[in-house]
Amino acid sequence: MGLSPKDIKERLKRMRQKTNDDVKNREKGGDKRKGVIDLSSLDNKEITFFKPNEQGKEITKGVYACKVDILPYIVATGKHPNNVSEGELDYAIEWWQHRSIGVNDDSVICLKKTFGKPCPICEDMEKKIAEGEDQSEINALKPSWKVMYNVIDKNSGKSNIQLFIQSRQLFHKEMLKEMNVQEAVGGEMIYPADIENGYTVLFRANDDTFKGNKFFNFSNFAFIKRDKYDYSVIEDTIPLDSILRILSYEEIACMYYQLDEDDIQEEKEDAHNNVEVEDNDEEKLENMTEEEQQRPKTIRKKIEEEEEEEEEVIEEEESDDLTGISDRKELLKIKQKEELDTKIYTKDSIEKIKEKIREARKLKEPPFDTEEEEEVIEEKPKPQRVRRNSKPKETSSSSTKCPFNHEFGKDCDYFDECTECVSEYADTYKKCEKEFNSQKGKK
Ligand SMILES: [Zn+2]
């Protein structure tokens, strides 16, 4: 195609602009990774990040003394992970993220640990745990806990607001601990981010590495009373909830399994069609007796199918006792009682139920076809994951065993129970945490 000199001039102008951008972004050229932070909603506001090793004062090799003011922001969405309402003030935001996901090694916000919703990566991780997959594979899928603040660097003398993102465990928890200590020793409770009675936060950041990834350990938290900030400062801080990039279950699944959006769409449509078919059954409900209605849908379906078969294939021998009315009722009762997964109604599960009926009646001779009786019904071993309600094992204070059956020194702070451990088994928790940190230091 022919371009006029005017066309070329316009294009050259745009190319120059792109060249400028390339020069500006030369360090991150070609990196298409997406993080969990999305600044696109902030228009062209220049956002920088607080970095302890750049803005802290290096007091000895790899140890930086930092000094920041944490400032509050106005919650701007209904999607705050800690359910702080829109319009309220908050001083931090916490979330869980999976790292190195998909072809671009993206980080994604874990929907399960952050919002208590289904997360495809966690589901796959749980499957891998149940299957006894290699620990390193599982560790790679574990989400990590993050925190972010609006801060002003007090070492610099500048007053621009920066974002500060850190490990929730290594920074936020340590700071909270110290705030608590202040109260415990009879001092007043510290609210560092308060506009009226806030405190400048001092801390040390120590360089550390884990599997080639650099990170900081934080210590020596201290608080110095700061001057009042003007109320208008909350107009300048960034609403942290609005810059979290929260993906849907489908989007995460696509990224994780490296699927096209089309694949997911097809699956969704299939699922939708299935639902439609099942919805047609609803009409039948009206014609049913109460007892029939109470039966789980899949069982109703099974019985309907059986009845159809009964009508059609009369010449076939009655080898399956499911066709006997009284046994069928018995079967339903037991089936309901057992609360077996009604979605999976396989031959094996039918056999299992028959066995239950036999047991229940203590019949000497089974009334059914015994052809497959010898078959061993294999019960899948259940994963050993201990839930919140389960009673922990007895532990002595010197124990190096996880009271909740997780891996001591490795699963620290990963499970919900860990928070319980902090208060109930403080000594064990401390040892576990120490072990966790020292393992981390070694690698
Ligand atoms: Zn997850």
Per residue in 336-359, pLDDT (tens digit) is 444 333 333 344 444 454 454 345
pLDDT tens digits for range 219-260: 999 999 999 999 999 999 999 999 999 999 999 999 999 887
Give the pLDDT confidence score for residue 104 in this predicted structure: 83
The confidence band for 269, taking pLDDT boundaries of 50, 70 and 90, is low
Q: Give 110 Cα–ligand 1 centroid separation in angstroms.
A: 4
Decide if pLDDT at 310 tops 50: no
The residue type at 299: I
Lowest pLDDT segment from 65-74, 251-260, 388-397, 416-425: 388-397
Q: How far is residue 180 from each of residues 225, 392, 441, measured CA to CA in Å?
A: 16, 27, 27
The confidence band for 400, taking pLDDT boundaries of 50, 70 and 90, is confident
* Percent of the chain whose predicted confidence (pLDDT) is above 70: 63
Q: Give 413 Cα–ligand 1 centroid separation in angstroms.
A: 15
Give the pLDDT confidence score for residue 429 in this predicted structure: 78
pLDDT tens digits for range 7-17: 999 999 989 98
Residue ranges of domains in the chain: 31-247, 299-382, 384-443
Instruction: Give dist(CA 179, CA 235) in Å, integer.
Output: 26
Instruction: Give dist(CA 213, CA 318) in Å, integer.
Output: 67
Region 128-132: what's the mean pLDDT? 96
Give the pLDDT confidence score for residue 357 in this predicted structure: 39
Verdict on whether the full-model pTM lies above 0.75: no
The confidence band for 298, taking pLDDT boundaries of 50, 70 and 90, is very low
Decide if pLDDT at 279 tops 50: no
Give the pLDDT confidence score for residue 423 in this predicted structure: 63
Place of tokens 């019904």: 377
Region 286-302: what's the mean pLDDT? 42
Q: Give 112 Cα–ligand 1 centroid separation in angstroms.
A: 5
Decide if pLDDT at 417 tops 70: no
Lowest pLDDT segment from 68-72, 163-167, 285-289: 285-289
Give the pLDDT confidence score for residue 20 in this predicted structure: 83
Q: Give 114 Cα–ligand 1 centroid separation in angstroms.
A: 8
Q: Give 125 Cα–ligand 1 centroid separation in angstroms.
A: 8
Q: Give 278 Cα–ligand 1 centroid separation in angstroms.
A: 31
Q: Give 205 Cα–ligand 1 centroid separation in angstroms.
A: 29
Cβ neighbours of residue 24 under 8 Å, at least 6 residues apart?
Answer: none
Superfamily of structural domain 31-247 = Replication Fork Single-Stranded Dna Binding Protein (3.90.198.10)
Cβ neighbours of residue 441 under 8 Å, at least 6 residues apart?
Answer: 208, 210
